[in-house]
Structure 1
Amino acid sequence: MSSDVPDPDAPADRVKHVRIEDEMEQSYIDYAMSVIAGRALPDVRDGLKPVHRRILYAMHEMGVSSNTAHRKSSSIVGETMGDYHPHGDSAIYDTLVRMAQDFSMRYPLVDGQGNFGSMDGDPAAAMRYTEARMAPIAEELLADIEKDTVNFSSNYDDRLQEPDVLPAKVPSLLLNGSSGIAVGMSTNIPPHNLGELVDATTHLIQNPDATVEDLMEHVKGPDFPTGGNIVGRDAIYSAYATGRGRLRVRAEYEVDREEGRIVISELPYQENKARVVERIADDVNEGKIEGISDLRDESDRNGVRVVVELKRGANVDVVENRLLDHHLESTFGVINLSLVDGQPKVLSLKETLQHYVDHRREVVRRRSEHDLQEAEDRAHILEGRLKALENVEDVVELIRNSEDRDAARAGLHDHFDFSEEQAAHIVRMQLGSLTSMEAAEIEEEYEDVQDTIDYLESVLASAEKLDSVIVDELQEMKDEYDDDRRTSIIEDEGQVTHEDLIPEEDCVVVITEDDYIKRMTVGDFEPQNRGGKGIIGADPKEGDRVSKVFRANSHDYLLCFTNQGQVYRLKTYEIPEMSRTARGKSAINLIDLDAEEELTAVVSTDDFDDDECITMVTHQGYVKRTCCDQFENILSTGIRAAKLEDGDELVDVDVTDGTGDLVIATEQGMTIRFDESEVSEMGRSARGVHGIKLQDDDRVAAMVATTDADPRSLLTVTKNGYGKRTRLSEYRPQSRYGQGLIDIKTDERNGRACTAKAVTEDDDLVIMSERGQIMRIRSGDISQVGRNTMGVTIMELEDGDAVASVTVVPADGGDAAEATDAADTDEQ
């Protein structure tokens, strides 16, 4: 084979053998750092990302300043993309738009003309329609950039030079904040008030050992362009001390109780106003927020105004808290991450300001050196002019006799010892500058230049004087651009919890056999006379019947016992509040019930004492007591409360202390009273002991706890709406597991007994039928008679209807969670 022909089997000279994981790792790191440093994170010195910096510099180079006419945005975008930022026009225009939005930037850097979007999320018009120019404060970021104050690098195609950072007369990073997502990290810096930043920066320059607490005497907290309120100061301190924090930002609103309205005037930063209004409306329509009759967005160019009209009688505090919980309060996560010497770093407030101060010191030093060099060059020229004026006749003669300009410059250099620069300047001078007046002006200018040189040399020689220059310039910025703080800082009165949104009130909870459940306020039902029909309290679906009704306070924690001996824990307010005619919501959405499982009894946990027990009774007459502390940790799937015999069901539950008596009532009208101590405390898995000896076809309907001194009466109500009251003292105690005494006659008129309750004359009763009729009467309206009587009509029922349940509303407004159910509603 010829030596000129490459051998196809020979290894290539430039092939490198590397592990693929090493190459992937290094390539990913290179890409990540490119995104971090080149696109996503701001520089700590001027607070700008490359795209912001390039847009402003392109406008500067185009001469589009704050005192020139606006230019088409497409022109600015085109110049930026073509010369400095080759990443697509949409990214550049989106940045330009944001820099012009006064609701996005605390101090907008671009003065826009046209549609630049809105707080409602409306997009800006296309770039061919809008116009822009630099805002005055943006020029302060570029001030002195021609004076070698910052380093320049080649642009992407090496045709031009672009600044690595802007001189930045104001601390822009904190001034307007920044947000961005890089690879594996993100930044989210809130905007601040210029005057406060200037004061804090000045304090840091004058007191290098200042702490974050010292700086917070000047910087009170972020200052958002949309105003609003920051709730609490601890989160602000955390953000400033560590560079990370979570701020609760709350809308500004006014509650007008006389007019029944809430007027929202400021929204949390970066909230979409139209979306907020839409979400409120959705929650109103879905019933998540009640009490709102109208919602209007009356905002205009002068600011935000969203009016929430309230219904008459609406609970203003509840509506306000619901709005706060879901719509008028948001969280701003502070991550003060920026580039320091090209590396991402999370900074505290002091560190951020210190890096800015170091940057300004470098800028002012380089500017002073540049100005000093120019002043010295000018002084050198002026010295030559003054020397030429002293020898004006000889200088003029030499120039006139010279063959050309070059010869004149050489002659001046040789005969008068002018430097090359001085000689060139003198040759270019006009004769008019040789007048005596011009000479005086030159001497005056020379003195001024010498003063400038002395001043600049003193600045460069003294760190304190250089710092004073920075302080003076910062004060000028404050005098020119400072304005009032927009965001207020209010004290943290505690996180709004779901419970705070619910008014504390007595409720009636209705449950059907098919386990539909709802709650209504007791105030929905006015007391009626005994024997009435009541009003509609529920509308069960066809084939379903109301099984029980109980009373509880809306803030009570309830233990919900089922017929199968399971117990669940539930907050009353978690039960959906609905109208009288509503069917309710399936309890499966609240409690994980099995197919054949039904709620049969409910007690409150709010007033449990260490020595109290949960006492339970079953249809077959078994009784057990279990210490309350065994019901403290209840899983969402429930826990076992009692072991039941086959065919038996849990029917009633009460909280007892072991010192009184238990009264058990059966469906056939029998009652037994015995000392509670006859029932020993047992574990949750125990079955219990016999409480009453039942006749054939009889079963337990209810249980009541009482004492010897109890002045109350035993109210017994039958299926057909009859009932009576008998003093508890007439039920003599006997041993457990006896047949008991006759309490009420359960003939054809009365029907079987469905429940028994201990009541006073002043208590109210809420009685509900299986078909959903409900009525409220005073207990005292029911006659108090002896045992073994028929009773009187309590509620008039329609054919086929029957009493489902009775609950007691104590007259003294006592423990609202005393809530036990009623009897099983199966027809006998």
Structure 2
Amino acid sequence: MTIHAPPPEGGRIIDEPMETALSRRYLAYALSTITNRALPDVRDGFKPVHRRILYAMHQMRLNPQAAARKCAKVVGEVMGGYHPHGDASIYEALVRLAQDFAQRYPLVDGQGNFGNIDGDSAAAMRYTECKLTPAAVLLLEGIDQDAVDFRPTYDDQDEEPVVLPAGFPNLLANGSSGIAVGMATSIPPHNVGELIDACQLLLERPEATTDELVQLVPGPDFPTGGVAVEGRAAILDAYETGRGGVRLRARWETEDLGRGVWRIVVTEMPYQVQKSRLIEALADLIEQKKAPLLGDVRDESAEDIRLILEPKNRTIEPEMLMESLFKLSDLEVRFPINMNVLDADGTPRVMGLKACLKAFLDHRREVLNRRSQWRIARVEKRLHLLEGLRIVFLNLDEVIRIVREEEQPKAVLIARFGLTEVQADFILDTRLRQLARLEEMTIENEFKELSEELANLKALTSSEGKQWKAVSKELEAVRKALISPRRTTMGEAVDASAFVAPEAFIPREAITVILSERGWIRAAKGKVEDPSELKFKEGDKLAYLVPAYTTDKLLVGASDGRIFTIGADKLASGRGHGEPLRLMIDLDEKAEIINLLAHQPGGKLLIASKAGYGFIAPEDDTLAQKRGGKQVLNGEMLAMLRVPTSPMGDHVATIGENIKTLIFPLAELPEMGRGKGVKLQSFKQGGLADVTVFNAEQGPEWADGGGRRRNWPDWKDWLGKRAGAGRQGPRGLRKFR
């Protein structure tokens, strides 16, 4: 055994910049993820793990007629021979191939518990069994006839197919989804009959447009059914560009219970929506008063879906109830379309409907040619042997004599009749009973049939037109084998704006909003007469008490300059301590609540910062649609005050941290939606301590140290221009509120 000396010092060290090393290695990782895990091949629609599962099952002869085998056996075969990853990921992929609610055309016939639409997971692989379905056989047909290329497996012990022959366009038929590095794919399932009709159109007229294809393939066909309510223009654009989306709704019907009482029965769920989670979400909407039209929800499903939705009262229209729930829940989902696939060269590309179908047809033509060449080679070999047998029958006595008398019969046969070694070996291995007269006729018939087949195969491989006709004939046979009615109905695009908002059905009731210093919020019915009777958690106390109605929107001002909006009907009951306000809005941990107001349409707010800047903001412009609120003030908010409308506020009073006070007309402040504002009061040091808005006829008030309200009759002595320094305020004035 030769012992090699270790490399010289530094021989295994690569000197390169860190940035270059990281980018090169990350790029290698990204490419591996894209090509080997996340994106499907446009030709057969599979990622490597699914392709390996089907090929391993084919090698194990788990065809539809065979007995099913344990999934653990299949997973072990795939993991040991083809897919060097965890058994859990392989089994999850296998289970998905068997779920009729996940696959439009299941490729694995699963026996046992393979999960359900409620979201329950499959049983362990040691309990379940599987075999291939007829659809999977169509995808594998011809794989043993040199129809596709093979490559070495990860350990170089065997070979695996680069792509499957794919008898039907599986990429679009069953769809695919995945997330790679820097890219993703999301392809919905379709109806095979419609896809093959589109393929036939492309074979007849390759110049056919996507618009013509969409007439045959109007949209996705999901295994769970439902109603697609996306407009044709949007679907056409998605199929043209490869990117878009489709809105999918649950299928429902109204069940009349008599005497004007009715209920909704949901019979089909949107694709990939788990029924159990949907029911939980609907129940939460009822509990949190976010679905004011829905009274109750329950599940009466057996083998079929039967989800019962009861209205709050019989005066509600069924369409109105469902439209509100479509907005609030996963009874309507938007399935994204991103047809990002690996083309025949293994390059990631976003392809439209026509490009995907053409790539499939090109693949089918290549498979046809390769299978034809494989068959030609075997027919020619058989004809070569039959020619030798024909010579034997013409010279049977001489052949028998040579075999009996010659020491080297093979060499004599070759020399005497001009045979090849293959023919001579075949003749010598032929049994005597095959030389009967009847066998001679059989051989002649076989020779004639194979000669005709060979001529047809050679004519096929030399004519592109005949190849496309053969592809068309094969697709028509597949269509008859897999044809099934469409499950997803293509409905009309719905304009939700035509329906009244569900908030319009919220009963208008007087409430009092209670917010504690620690941020717990609740709503008590009616008016709170004595705030001292309110109870809080230990160490907590009242911060804001706001009269409102259940139909109001609440404005929450925060010190980080944002204003949040909360529906008053969504607050917890006043019987308990409420719930943390931070669970309802995305409030920064360092931010504090500045004020809580009930929104008044058309009202105005004075927004002021600690730096001494401010402006007037229309209340309607401060309403936020998201949990993150709306950034209104550029700076640290000190105050969010409502400008009185009756009587109209017309003056602003400010007090600085230096105890100096300034009063100026409200008209000097600009009105704006957001920003920094203008200078309210000037300070040599420190900032603004407090601000208020008041009416000149009534005059301002301020709070003394004892918490009592005091009038300010001589306030006009502090009148000045905005941005002035002001003068020393009255004795005891520290804040206005």
User: What's the TM-score bracket when you normalise by the shorter of the two chains?
Assistant: 0.7 to 0.9
- Structure-1 separation of matches of 2:388 and 2:596: 109
What corresponds to 1:446 in structure 2?
A: 447
What corresponds to 1:652 in structure 2?
A: 646
Q: Residue 435 and residue 124 in structure 1: after superposition, are their counterparts in 2 closer, same or farther (change >3 A)?
A: same
Aligned partner (choices 369, 393, 397) of residue 401 of structure 2: 397
TM-score, normalization: structure 1?
Answer: 0.65
What corresponds to 1:119 in structure 2?
A: 117
Aligned partner (choices 337, 341, 344) of residue 338 of structure 1: 341
Q: Residue 6 and residue 164 in structure 1: after superposition, are their counterparts in 2 closer, same or farther (change >3 A)?
A: closer
Q: CA deviation at 1:634?
A: 5.0
Farther-moved stretch of structure 1 (628-637 vs 417-426) = 628-637
Classify the secondary structure of the residue corresponding to 1:503: helix
Aligned partner (choices 389, 403, 421) of residue 385 of structure 1: 389
- Structure-2 separation of matches of 1:468 and 1:603: 70
Q: Structure 2 regions of 5+ residues with no counterpart?
A: 535-543, 605-615, 624-629, 634-640, 649-665, 672-691, 702-737
Q: Residue 482 and residue 517 in structure 1: after superposition, are their counterparts in 2 closer, same or farther (change >3 A)?
A: same
Q: Residue 389 and residue 180 in structure 1: after superposition, are their counterparts in 2 closer, same or farther (change >3 A)?
A: same
TM-score, normalization: structure 2?
Answer: 0.73
- Structure-2 separation of matches of 1:361 and 1:637: 60
- Structure-2 separation of matches of 1:470 and 1:126: 41
Q: Structure 1 regions of 5+ residues with no counterpart?
A: 521-535, 563-567, 606-613, 615-627, 640-646, 655-680, 698-828
Q: Contact (CA 8 Å) 2:510, 2:527: kept in 1 or not?
A: no
How many residues are paired up?
Answer: 611
Q: Contact (CA 8 Å) 1:508, 1:519: kept in 2 or not?
A: no
Write the letter of the residue equivalent to 2:398.
Answer: D
Q: CA deviation at 1:424?
A: 1.7
Classify the secondary structure of the residue corresponding to 2:402: helix
Q: Contact (CA 8 Å) 1:539, 1:581: kept in 2 or not?
A: no
1:328 paired with 2:328, answer: no
- Structure-2 separation of matches of 1:431 and 1:211: 64
Q: Contact (CA 8 Å) 1:559, 1:603: kept in 2 or not?
A: no
Q: Contact (CA 8 Å) 1:321, 1:500: kept in 2 or not?
A: no
Farther-moved stretch of structure 1 (27-36 vs 66-75) = 27-36
What corresponds to 1:253 in structure 2?
A: 252
Q: Residue 551 and residue 330 in structure 1: after superposition, are their counterparts in 2 closer, same or farther (change >3 A)?
A: closer
Write the letter of the residue equivalent to 1:158.
Answer: D
Q: Contact (CA 8 Å) 1:518, 1:576: kept in 2 or not?
A: no
Q: CA deviation at 1:290?
A: 3.3
What corresponds to 1:199 in structure 2?
A: 197
Q: CA deviation at 1:369?
A: 0.9
Farther-moved stretch of structure 1 (201-210 vs 456-465) = 201-210
1:72 paired with 2:70, answer: yes
Classify the secondary structure of the residue corresponding to 1:253: strand
Q: CA deviation at 1:485?
A: 0.8
List per-residue Cα deviations over 1:676-719 (Å, max 9, x = no partner). xxxxx97777999999899xx9xxxxxxxxxxxxxxxxxxxxxx
- Structure-2 separation of matches of 1:385 and 1:209: 52
Which residues in structure 2 correspond to 1:97-496 (within 5 Å)?
Answer: 97-233=95-231, 234-256=233-255, 258-301=260-303, 303-313=304-314, 315=316, 316-325=318-327, 326-340=329-343, 341-403=345-407, 407-495=408-496
Write the letter of the residue equivalent to 1:181.
Answer: I
What corresponds to 1:707 in structure 2?
A: none
- Structure-1 separation of matches of 2:670 and 2:113: 72
RMSD: 4.4
List per-residue Cα deviations over 1:118-165 (Å, max 9, x = no partner). 111111111111100011111111111111111111111111111111
- Structure-2 separation of matches of 1:187 and 1:5: 49
What corresponds to 1:19 in structure 2?
A: 17
Q: Residue 90 and residue 441 in structure 1: after superposition, are their counterparts in 2 closer, same or farther (change >3 A)?
A: same
- Structure-1 separation of matches of 2:698 and 2:70: 96
Task: Decide which structure has the larger Cα Rg and report it.
Answer: 1
List per-residue Cα deviations over 1:236-270 (Å, max 9, x = no partner). 22321111112211111113365421111111111
Write the letter of the residue equivalent to 2:242.
Answer: G
Q: CA deviation at 1:408?
A: 2.5
List per-residue Cα deviations over 1:777-824 (Å, max 9, x = no partner). xxxxxxxxxxxxxxxxxxxxxxxxxxxxxxxxxxxxxxxxxxxxxxxx
Q: Contact (CA 8 Å) 2:210, 2:354: kept in 1 or not?
A: yes
- Structure-2 separation of matches of 1:508 and 1:428: 101
Classify the secondary structure of the residue corresponding to 1:446: helix
Write the letter of the residue equivalent to 2:234.
Answer: A
- Aligned-residue sequence identity (percent) comes to 37
Classify the secondary structure of the residue corresponding to 2:110: strand
- Structure-2 separation of matches of 1:164 and 1:63: 20
- Structure-1 separation of matches of 2:305 and 2:63: 31
- Structure-1 separation of matches of 2:4 and 2:56: 54
Q: Contact (CA 8 Å) 2:115, 2:122: kept in 1 or not?
A: yes
Q: Contact (CA 8 Å) 2:191, 2:221: kept in 1 or not?
A: yes
Q: Residue 120 and residue 6 in structure 1: after superposition, are their counterparts in 2 closer, same or farther (change >3 A)?
A: closer
Q: Contact (CA 8 Å) 1:509, 1:518: kept in 2 or not?
A: no
List per-residue Cα deviations over 1:721-762 (Å, max 9, x = no partner). xxxxxxxxxxxxxxxxxxxxxxxxxxxxxxxxxxxxxxxxxx
Write the letter of the residue equivalent to 2:197.
Answer: D
Q: Residue 634 and residue 272 in structure 1: after superposition, are their counterparts in 2 closer, same or farther (change >3 A)?
A: closer
- Structure-1 separation of matches of 2:334 and 2:505: 28
Q: CA deviation at 1:289?
A: 2.1
Q: CA deviation at 1:77?
A: 0.9
Q: CA deviation at 1:550?
A: 9.5
List per-residue Cα deviations over 1:414-444 (Å, max 9, x = no partner). 1111222222222222222222222222111
- Structure-2 separation of matches of 1:76 and 1:547: 66
Q: Residue 456 and residue 633 in structure 1: after superposition, are their counterparts in 2 closer, same or farther (change >3 A)?
A: same
1:576 paired with 2:579, answer: no
Q: Contact (CA 8 Å) 2:43, 2:171: kept in 1 or not?
A: yes
Farther-moved stretch of structure 1 (366-375 vs 233-242) = 233-242
Classify the secondary structure of the residue corresponding to 2:15: coil
